Chains A and B, each alone.
Chain A
Amino acid sequence: MATFNLNINGKTQTVDVDPSTPILWVLRDHLNLVGTKYGCGIAQCGACTVHLDGSATRSCMLPVSSVGNSKITTIEGLSENGDHPVQKAWLEVDVPQCGYCQAGQIMTASALLEKNPNPNDEEIEMAMNGNICRCGTYLRIRKAVKLAASKAS
């Protein structure tokens, strides 16, 4: 066990955990931030996506000991009132079915738009390809990303 000071959603959080513990489980088990989901544990499905210094990152294979002072943003910290353009677009398009993967989808989409505010269809599909949606809401995901881009620009 070791103590880590983490910068999460703009706040410093101190946790005492095994250094190998992935950020995913630090968030879920130790900080009660359960919006970031466990899906595969091997960075293949994207359900655990967070922003690490603004980049979409799989938190399930990110040991707590590796993040240092990097800024972590989770779905809970994406916006103050759940009104980030991507979140709003997700509601407007009514994307979710079961909804489990959607926090990860939103984190990937918001990181994409941060770097590329007007992605074309191909770029959206490429960026979102790492996030599995078992319910098959992919078309609505694309539509919501486009909508968010159009609203933000």
Chain B
Amino acid sequence: MTLVKTQIGRRAFIKNTSLAGGGLVLGFSFFNACKPKEAEALAVELEMPKEWFEINGYLKIGDNGVVTIMSPNPEIGQNVRTSMPMIVADELEIDWSNVVVEQAPLNTNLYSWQVAGGSRSISSSWQNLRMAGATARQMLKEAAAQAWQVPVGEITAKAGVLTHEVTGKTAGYGEMASAASQMEVPEEIELKETSEFSIIGTSRKNVDGKKITTGKPLYGIDVQREGMLIAGLVHPPAFGKRLKSFDAEAAKQMPGIRDVFSIKLYDEDFDKMAFHFTAFNEVVVVVGESTWQVFQAKKAINIEWEDAPEATQHLTLFGNKMEMKHPAGMENSEQHTDKLKKMMSGKGNVARRDGNPEEAFEKAAKIIERSYSCPFLAHNTMEPMNFFANVTEDHAELLGPTQTPEWMEPAVAERLGLPLEKVDIQMTRQGGGFGRRLYGHFMVEVAAISQRMKAPVKLMYTREDDMSQGIYRPSYYATYRAAFDAENNLIGFHVKAGGVPESPLFANRFPAGAIDNYLAEDFTVDTNITTGAFRAPRSNFIAGAEQSFLDEVAEELGKDPIDFRLELLKRAQENPVGDATANDYDAARYAGVLELVREKSNWGQDQPGVHRGVSAYFCHQSYVAQVLDIVMENNEPVVQKVTSAIDCGIVVNPDAATNMAEGGVVDGIGHAMYSGLTFNNGTPDQQNFDRYRLIRNREAPKAIETHFVQNTIDPTGMGEPPFPPIMGALANALYKASGRRYYHQPFITDRVFKG
């Protein structure tokens, strides 16, 4: 046991605050749409208690010993709704089969970091979740000690049962729940040793599995309310355009249509957070009785658009002021490429410089230089953007899929003219996130629409709306150079990377610190196309580029690609170049995943016809190495197998983490190989899945093996890290299979494959 003070997040553990802001009001969810009996039967197959006793903001215990655990974070498919409550349950010492999980609403009094972003759900709440369970366990013990008049230290808690061995007394948690709920919150509690975990580290099935497989309402799009109207919106057809005027007379006459109007999202002077970002501040709105009627009416509005002037957006990101310049005009992908190339040939901003890279390249006997690029991507969550709002004169209720409820709440409150405490936000399960739902402009949109209509409203984007009004993954471009001396030693390394509108460079990541003469530079190109975070931002390109280039360097040196990386990591660990504290990776853990993947993939034991590529990357505090095997069939590459080795510290729910790792591999292969969003006159060429290609079942690897490094380090990121490196492993294996290097994503457009 480890003693810890309960101060972190202590507010959450003090009983009465939890009710502030509608914290734990049961039944206040869209299951109201179901018959109560049905809803209950669906929620759990457990017998429900007659009475619940709230122990703290994370959990309540029923008189029959059933425990409800709140899952605070948005569930976008990363499994937090299962894995976060597992952490609470483990410290509480309760059988997982006696646990009911509920989605917590946004409550900044109770919870911290209610965000699905940065792969931080588990790591940022790890301590709080453990304390929530451990605090309750301690309060139950104290209740039993009082009831039995024995010292609390003699009471043990195991699997929902309190025991006093000396007297032989036992009681279920349910029996002590009422008394425990009256106990003072302990000043100090004991956390389990990692060796004592009984739920953490064991695979538990998705708590929503049954509802998902039987089609029960779970997602934002499934929300239904009495008197609810449907809203759709029409945005400018191109970036660089804005609304001039519209004529909606015909649309208003269509059956079921209640109103057509335009809304402005934000006032010019609104102090925007980066996540308030939106592509189009003014849109035309159609409100009607049913989705199909609204979708049809959208097409019947005559709208005149005009050119938008150049603009500068002032945004705040975690306290830092940012300025984004949006030039006027309609942009093309070809122009972006030209501008990136022009910037590449100019002077970049030096982000890190070790030794004397200029001299190293000057005296080099040989230099290799390679350039890499990738297009914009749309997130394409399978559930398009949507949200529900019911705004009355003095209150706003919002319900739906968002990755950032806390950060959107001020924007909604500001737009409605309501104080923050009058805005309640609840989260549904979400049909994917990938970063798109970090930008919750649709919440402000639906709130403004509901306020105007004085009715509950669900805003629905079509797939085309979703894909053509994105907050896209930027387009990136990077050039790598390596200098070799006459004895073929690597003596210099230069990376220069830029993008539209941000650079993908991480100057202090590997191989920084491992090469004597190192130069990292970056640059940016302004755009009026909205971009933002996409699963593993920036890493999702630079990892593949860097790992492909290192493969070429290893080949140039005549070294095995894993041995070569391990040599560099050894150097970074034992005798780092430059400021060692600046390196944001742990060379030993980095090497650890490479060694593990070497072992598990039987690296070095070549099989005829199997072409292998390796890659390893660090991001979101985790380390992932992957080996990808290709066989050629009819001149087409078939990914036969991927072996992943992952170090993300303690793995809370191994099978769910494995699922995520498999998904990351498929997602990474898919985007590197097939996907891209291009622009012509400010309009995306791809607006639905007929032209936007996503990886499909037949294109996924035939097998994926996932191995985790076993350690007792507190959990680090898991949702994003398996995604970026696979792109490098794919490119490297394609080279082995086809004899050709792949530099430009999506690889499928680069050439015809030949074995």
Chain A residues with CB under 8 Å of chain B are 1, 17-18, 20-22, 25, 28-30, 32-42, 44-45, 47, 74-76, 78, 82, 87, 90-91, 94, 96-103, 106, 125-126, 128-142
Contact = CB atoms under 8 A, between A and B. Distances in A.
B751 interface: no
B213 A34 contact: no
Given A34-B222, A129-B698, A140-B659, A40 B213 contact: no
Contacts of B255: 1, 18
B233 to A, nearest CB: 16
B519 to A, nearest CB: 36
Interface in B631-682: 655-656, 659-660, 662-667, 670
B694 interface: yes
B689 A99 contact: no
A132 B206 contact: no
B213 A106 contact: yes
Given A40-B688, A91-B213, A125-B697, A98 B431 contact: yes
B667 A100 contact: no
A-B pairs with lowest CB-CB distance, top 8: A35-B215, A136-B666, A98-B77, A100-B431, A75-B215, A44-B689, A97-B77, A136-B663
Q: Chain B contact residues (Cβ within 8 angstroms of A): what range?
A: 35 or more
Given A38-B221, A41-B462, A138-B697, A103 B290 contact: no
Contacts of A101: 382, 431
A91 B655 CA distance: 13
Interface in B582-637: none
Interface in B432-468: 432-434, 460, 462-464
Contacts of A74: 215
Interface of B: 33, 76-79, 203, 205-206, 208-210, 212-219, 221-222, 224, 230, 255, 290-293, 295-296, 380-384, 429-434, 460, 462-464, 655-656, 659-660, 662-667, 670, 688-690, 694-698, 700-701, 703-704
21 contacts: A22-B292, A25-B290, A29-B291, A32-B224, A34-B221, A35-B214, A37-B383, A39-B383, A41-B463, A42-B463, A42-B688, A44-B688, A90-B213, A99-B208, A128-B697, A135-B432, A136-B695, A137-B659, A138-B696, A140-B659, A141-B697
Contacts of B291: 25, 28-29, 38
Given A47-B382, A91-B209, A136-B667, 14 more contacts: A20-B292, A21-B290, A39-B382, A41-B463, A78-B214, A87-B214, A96-B206, A97-B77, A98-B76, A98-B430, A128-B697, A129-B697, A133-B382, A134-B667
A68 B255 CA distance: 23
Question: In the complex, which of the residues B33, B213, B432, B462 has the most CB atoms of chain A within 10 Å of its own CB atom?
Answer: B213
B212 A96 contact: yes
Contacts of A99: 77, 206, 208, 212, 218, 429, 431
